[in-house]
Chain A
Amino acid sequence: MAHATPLLPAGQLVRLKEQGRAPLHFVLNGQPAQALQGDTVLTAVLTQSAQLRSHEFAHTPRAGFCMMGACQDCWVTLGGEQAGRKLRACSTLLQAGMQICTTTEAVAQATATNASQVQP
Chain B
Amino acid sequence: MVKQLATEVVVIGGGIMGASTALFLRKRGIQVVVVERDLCGSRSSGVNFGGVRRQGRSLAMLPLSQRSHQHWGRLTELIGTEAEYERSGHFKIARSQADMESLVRYAEKTRDCGLDLQLLDGAELHKRFPVGGAKVVGGSFCPDDGQANPRLLSPAFATAAARAGAQVFEHSPVLDVAHNGQRFVVRTPEMEIRANVVVNAAGAWAGQFAEQCGEPVPMRIRPPAMGVTEPLPFFLHWSLGVEGGSIYCRQVRRGNVVFGGGPGLVLDDTRARNRHTTVWAQLPQLVELLPQLKNAQLIRTWSGNEGALPDHEPIISASSRQAGLYHAFGFAGGGFQLGPGVGDVMAELIAQGRSSTPIDAFRIDRFTDPACST
Contact = CB atoms under 8 A, between A and B. Distances in A.
A82 to B, nearest CB: 9
A56 B255 contact: yes
A118 B231 CA distance: 18
Interface of A is mostly: loop
A115 B89 contact: no
Given A84-B295, A86-B297, A116 B254 contact: no
Nearest to B254: A57
B221 to A, nearest CB: 34
B220 interface: no
A86 B297 CA distance: 9
Interface string B328-356: 00000000000000000000000000000
A17 B233 CA distance: 39
B231 A56 contact: yes
Interface string B101-144: 00000000000000000000000000011100000000000000
Interface string B295-325: 1010000000000000000000000000000
A104 B354 CA distance: 59
Nearest to A111: B233
Contacts of B292: 114-116
A75 to B, nearest CB: 8
B235 interface: yes
Given A57-B254, A120-B89, A120-B237, A114 B291 contact: yes
Interface in B234-261: 234-238, 254-255
B271 interface: no
Interface string A74-90: 00010000001110000
Nearest to B127: A119
Contact of A86 (B89, B237, B295): B295
Contact of A84 (B89, B235, B294, B297): B294
Interface of A: 56-57, 77, 84-86, 111, 114-120
The 10 closest A-B pairs by CB, nearest first: A118-B129, A84-B295, A118-B237, A114-B292, A115-B235, A85-B295, A56-B231, A115-B233, A115-B292, A86-B295
